Amino acid sequence: MAPTSLPGTTDRRLASLLTLFANNATIAISGARIAKEIGVSRSTVWRWVERLREVGVRVKGRPNTGYFLERVPDRLTPDLLRQQLKGSMFGKRIHHFFRTDSTNRVAMELGYTNEPEGAVVIAEEQTAGRGRAGRNWHSERATGIYATLLLRPKISPVQAPLLTMMAGLSAHAAIQAQTGLQPDLKWPNDLMLNGKKLGGILTEMHAEPTVVRFVIVGIGINVNQEKFPAELSAIATSLRAETGRGQSRLELLARLLREFETDYNRFLRDGSGSVTERFTQVSSYASGKKVRVTNGKETYIGVTAGLRPEGLLQIRREDGALVTVLAGDVTETR
Ligand code: BTN
């Protein structure tokens, strides 16, 4: 079944044009050949080339000389991603936007309209990217990964936060495989490198008291950002900043989705321990870290003391009490 065409998603033929260019990078292709291969008129080809240019794809050339790309664009269009995701549950229904408000907002709508499990919503740019606690997620065009996965797991709502931690583990593994870097995981949803934020996960769900209808897992990773807005520059980083070179978002997203699928199947089969045990190994925040916890009501200091089976973080407070963090910000302190 072909994915439903959502308002604003990238026209399939426009995506085909980009794939054609990507597969023939640096070779000039005549407008006439493009028109024939995609099945549109030459004037349509010209208009679409202009649209690709508007969304930042550097297409060189003119109708009479032929068009070409200076280099393969790192765009996450369905065709390019699908080539890397053969046989994966996430390779079947990919909804791509050059620009949307929030991939979580789109995925939530898909969830309510019976879209099957495994759908992926991807944007090159978000105009209202959502972060945790009502914050905004900075989503500069074609530099980061902004993706949301739709899941329909047969779990109870209390287990859903484990999917956030699991997504962090999948992202950790994908980043390590591609770059050799080992991000830390700050409970529950932050990917950190050298004390700065590299990425975050925002899970939202629709559930009845005892059963989950669907869960959406939104993943944001700073990949090729060279600079951030002033208010973020001291607290955010990107893979490019940390490795000193640009990284393929396409490759990283494909790895991430494959890791996620493996982790998700393991979680459904083996339960929460498959997540909490790995999280405890990978995250320096799981135990023995002095932290400040801030929630709507209070702020306190303590030392992290392991995870509960449902993934909640325990803290040994300064007054000796062992408490469980249900919500709030946990930050390292001295
Ligand atoms: C956080 O605050 O750390 C969570 C950030 C989550 C950002 C991602 S980007 C893709 C998806 N769509 C959104 O609007 N948010 C998430």
Torsion of CA 257, 261, 263, 264, to 10 degrees: 120
Which atom of ligand 1 approaches the CA of 107 most closely?
A: 12
How far apart CA 91 and CA 79 sit, in angstroms, is: 9
Cα four-point dihedral sign 316, 320, 323, 325: negative
Is 203's C-beta closer than 6 angstroms to any atom of ligand 1? no
How far apart, in whole angstroms, are the C-alpha atoms of residue 130 and residue 187? Answer: 18
Ligand 1 within 6 A of CB of 16? no
d(CA 144, CA 94) in angstroms, rounded, equals 17
Give which of 17, 315, 264, 273 is closest to 154, Cα–Cα. Answer: 264
Instruction: Write out pLDDT tens, residues 81-133.
Output: 998 999 999 999 999 999 999 999 999 999 999 999 999 999 999 999 999 98
How far does the centroid of ligand 1 lie from the alpha carbon of residue 96, in Å? 16
State whether the beta carbon of 82 lies less than 6 angstroms from ligand 1. Answer: no
Choose which residue among 105, 136, 146 to substitute to test ligand 1 binding: the one with the highest number of ligand atoms within 8 A of its C-beta.
146
Size of the chain in residues: 334
**What integer pLDDT is reported at residue 319 of this predicted model?**
92
Is the beta carbon of 101 within 6 A of some atom in ligand 1? no
pLDDT value at residue 1:
45
The predicted model scores a pTM of 0.91
What is the Cα–Cα distance from 323 to 297, expressed in whole angstroms?
A: 15
Residue 222 Cβ < 6 Å to ligand 1: no
CA distances from 43 to 4, 25, 52, 68 (A): 27, 22, 14, 17
The alpha helices in the chain, defined as continuous H runs, are 12-23, 31-38, 42-54, 78-84, 103-112, 161-179, 230-233, 239-243, 249-270, 273-282
The DSSP bridge partners found for residue 214 are: 206
CA 121, CA 76: separation in Å to the nearest integer?
Answer: 11
Mutate which of 76, 120, 189, 202 for ligand 1 pocket (most atoms within 8 A of beta carbon): 202
Do residues 65 and 18 make contact, with C-beta atoms less than 8 angstroms apart? no
* Distance in angstroms (rounded) separating the CA atoms of residues 15 and 258: 22
User: Quick check: helix, strand or coil at residue 176?
Assistant: helix
Protein residue closest via CA to atom 11 of ligand 1:
218
Residue 320 Cα distances to 79, 106, 220, 311, 328, angstroms: 56, 45, 36, 21, 20
Q: Ligand 1 in contact with 199 (CB < 6 A)?
A: no
Report strand pairing: 120-123 vs 313-317: unpaired
**Residue 131 CA to ligand 1 centre (angstroms):** 5
**Per-residue pLDDT, 148:** 98
Tokens of 57: 């794809």
Q: Distance, CA 5 to ligand 1 centroid (Å)?
A: 23
Task: Give the CA distances from residue 327 to residues 38, 65, 153, 312, 333, in Å, rounded to whole numbers and listed in that order.
Answer: 51, 59, 23, 9, 18
Question: Tens-digit pLDDT profile for the chain (334 aa)?
Answer: 445 467 778 877 888 888 888 888 778 899 888 889 888 899 999 998 998 888 788 888 888 889 988 777 788 988 889 989 999 999 999 999 999 999 999 999 999 999 999 999 999 999 999 999 889 999 999 999 999 999 999 999 999 999 999 999 999 999 999 999 999 999 999 999 999 999 999 999 999 999 999 999 999 999 999 999 999 999 999 999 999 999 999 999 999 999 999 999 999 999 999 999 999 999 999 999 999 999 888 999 999 999 999 999 999 999 999 999 988 899 999 8
First to last CA, the chain: 55
